[in-house]
Chain A
Amino acid sequence: MQGAKPPFDDVYRDFLGRIYAYVRAQVGSQADAEDVTSMVFIKAWEAYPRYEPQGATPASWLFRIARNAALDHLRSAARKERLARAVANEPEALDDPAQMAAERIQQQALLRLVERLPERQREAVSLRHSGLSFAEVGAILGSTEDAAKMLYHRALRVLREAAAAQELG
């Protein structure tokens, strides 16, 4: 996809959902995910005139902005506190839990497991399953492709064990 620079409208429509999903896995709540996602696209819009598609795909460029925004968010003490509460199994506000399908409940449980991963493992899993190649994941995390693969598979192992412990897997 390197080459032509797509209109920002296209980038926005193509990536909003994916960026939100990535951010949602990094922060503790839907509200925070919306905050951070908004900031990502505001920053992206500001920076878009300087974006050079030859240097990075729109995906890796946007996810890099998203990662930085999520990290900024998590570095705030207040945010950390909120995340800690969320991770400590505080029940999450759901629209109508009674109507949630089993699959949806399992997805929520899996999301919580992802949220509990160590930061870099969580990022590796989130970026990888947001559609990025290991090379792109490694570039965003400041490591090699092989290191990104190792990080990812280590995260999978942790997730698998945690899921088994919760009888999810």
Chain B
Amino acid sequence: MSEPRDPLEERLDRLFATTRPRRGFEDELWARLEVRRGLWARLTDRLRSVQLVPVLGGLAALVVVVLAGGLLLNSVAHGSRASTSSYSGGTRGGAAGAQSADSSAGFGRVPRPVVRLSDAPQPAVTLPAAPKAAYAGSVTVTAVTASAPLPARLPVTRYRELTAPQADAFAAGLGARPSGPVPPGALGRYAGANFTLTIYPSDPGQGIEPRVVITPGSPAPQAAGPDDVKAYLGRFAVAPDATATAPVTDRAGGQEVVRWTRLVSAGVSELNASWEATVGSDLSILVADGALPLAREVADYAVASSQQLVALAKAAGGGSGPAVVLDTAQAVYVVASDGAYGYFEPAVLYTGHFTQGGVTYEKRILVPAVAPQDLR
């Protein structure tokens, strides 16, 4: 603005410089973008380098299966130390139908969850009402006064990590073809009739399982409620399955976000939503994503003792910084991955609060609930 200014222009400058979205909008929108963008970059090379394993029936059969709306990937039996059970999403419901292996470590040592709560989307699990200022820094955990009721053993679920050829086959089954550059961290990006798909592998950093992000074209599909969203996701073979809990709808600005969370074991849900759609105020679906219906195996694992969990929580605080009492605890499932396999592993989400400079902060700490001897 180098030209001579008059008072009106100065006021216009101020108007456009001070008109800003409400507090929180920036982070909310960013969180939505993060679901489909690239904190996965560092994983891509590793995942692509994983040796492709034979998939029963081959990719042609896979496409047929996908078209039929059934199992996406046939699982391969693994784990010589114990028997495990296999099932596909939608064929059994959470803990009620669980068939667990009787070994204490059916898959051997499982990878330690590395979810970064500061990067992860807002947890889908119900958290106690709390101030919104999340604190990502180190804290001194002075006490842990809450505990999550955990049984002595809990199931761990695993699935074969998705490969790029499998993602291609899945998209082909939906009539979509590779299109444009692949976003960072994605396995592939595809265009079909009035939609684009981006398929992502597991993201352990955010605790997200492999998923398809669907961006509708124009005219955008309409959704008057969760049933319509579910039907839309179903067109892409990623509708909430039998493990999904009841849908939850959050309103943010002029948009509604509908999400379903996976119930992995009795009363214990996944930390992040597995199926989600953002619906605009005109009821058009802006973006939707759903977990890929991968075949999963289940094995029971011993759970860490309460003393071990408390010690882990105190250590995870960092040992310096504001003093915090962790006064709530909730059992959740989080996604971990070793590149070849992804896992749903039990964990405990602790929260505590402290006030600094007149602002009350919430500190969240996530610790693995699998017994330490069974973690890598």
What residues of A have a CB within 8 angstroms of the CB of B181 in the complex? 49-50
A46 on the B face (CB < 8 A): yes
CB-nearest residue of chain A relative to B14? A107
Give Cα A78–Cα B30 distance, bound, in whole angstroms: 28
Contact of B254 among A8, A34, A163 (CB under 8 A): A34
Q: Say yes or no: B37 contacts A8, CB within 8 Å.
A: yes
Q: Say yes or no: B8 contacts A24, CB within 8 Å.
A: no
Give A129 Cβ to nearest chain B Cβ, in Å: 4
B305 on the A face (CB < 8 A): no
What residues of B have a CB within 8 angstroms of the CB of A38 in the complex? 29, 32, 253, 255, 278, 286
Among B32, B36, B281, chain A packs the most CB atoms within 10 A around the CB of: B281
Q: Say yes or no: B20 contacts A107, CB within 8 Å.
A: no
CB-nearest residue of chain A relative to B218? A72
A5 on the B face (CB < 8 A): no
A6 on the B face (CB < 8 A): no
Contact of A110 among B15, B29, B36, B286 (CB under 8 A): B15
Q: Say yes or no: B280 contacts A46, CB within 8 Å.
A: no
Kindly supply a per-residue 1/0 record for chain A positions 92-113, scoring 1 wherever the CB is within 8 Å of any chain B CB and 0 otherwise.
0000000000000011001100
Known: A110-B11, A126-B16. A16 touches B26 (CB 8 A): yes
* Chain B: interface size category: 35 or more
Q: Say yes or no: A34 contacts B33, CB within 8 Å.
A: no
Q: Say yes or no: B196 contacts A46, CB within 8 Å.
A: yes
B13 on the A face (CB < 8 A): yes
Give B253 Cβ to nearest chain A Cβ, in Å: 3
Q: Say yes or no: B21 contacts A169, CB within 8 Å.
A: no
Tally chain A residues at the interface, Cβ within 8 Å.
Answer: 45
Contact of A129 among B15, B22, B183, B215 (CB under 8 A): B15
What residues of A have a CB within 8 angstroms of the CB of B149 in the complex? none
Which listed segment binds B: A25-33, A53-61, A83-91, A139-147?
A25-33
Among B1, B14, B33, chain A packs the most CB atoms within 10 A around the CB of: B33
Q: Say yes or no: B16 contacts A22, CB within 8 Å.
A: yes
Give A75 Cβ to nearest chain B Cβ, in Å: 11
Contact of B37 among A13, A45, A107 (CB under 8 A): A45
Among B19, B196, B280, chain A packs the most CB atoms within 10 A around the CB of: B19
Q: Say yes or no: B287 contacts A49, CB within 8 Å.
A: no
Give Cα A13–Cα B30 distance, bound, in whole angstroms: 9
Q: Say yes or no: B30 contacts A35, CB within 8 Å.
A: no
CB-nearest residue of chain B relative to A130? B16
Give B192 Cβ to nearest chain A Cβ, in Å: 15
What residues of B have a CB within 8 angstroms of the CB of A160 in the complex? 8
A150 on the B face (CB < 8 A): no
Q: Say yes or no: A12 contacts B15, CB within 8 Å.
A: no
What residues of B have a CB within 8 angstroms of the CB of A41 in the complex? 29, 33
What residues of B have a CB within 8 angstroms of the CB of A34 in the complex? 21-22, 25, 252-255
- Which residues of B (1-51) have their CB < 8 Å from a CB of A? 1, 7-9, 11-22, 25-26, 29-30, 32-33, 36-37
Give Cα A8–Cα B15 distance, bound, in whole angstroms: 26
Kindly supply a per-residue 1/0 record for chain B positions 180-196, scoring 1 wherever the CB is within 8 Å of any chain A CB and 0 otherwise.
11010000000000001
Give Cα A29–Cα B18 distance, bound, in whole angstroms: 16
Known: A8-B37, A49-B181. A35 touches B281 (CB 8 A): yes
What residues of B have a CB within 8 angstroms of the CB of A21 in the complex? 15-17, 19-20
Among B12, B18, B22, B278, chain A packs the most CB atoms within 10 A around the CB of: B12
In the complex, 9 of the A-B residue pairs with CB atoms within 8 angstroms, ordered by the A residue number, are: A30-B21, A31-B254, A32-B281, A38-B253, A45-B33, A106-B11, A107-B19, A129-B15, A130-B16
Apart from A21-B19, A31-B254, A163-B8, what are 11 other A-B pairs with CB-CB below 8 Å? Answer: A17-B26, A37-B29, A42-B287, A50-B181, A107-B11, A107-B15, A111-B19, A129-B12, A129-B15, A131-B1, A156-B8
8 cross-chain pairs, A with B, having the tightest CB-CB distances, nearest first: A34-B253, A31-B254, A49-B181, A21-B19, A129-B16, A35-B254, A129-B12, A20-B21
Chain A residues packing against B (C-beta within 8 Å): 8, 12-13, 16-18, 20-22, 24-25, 29-35, 37-39, 41-42, 45-46, 49-50, 76, 78-79, 106-107, 110-111, 114, 125-126, 129-131, 156, 159-160, 163, 169
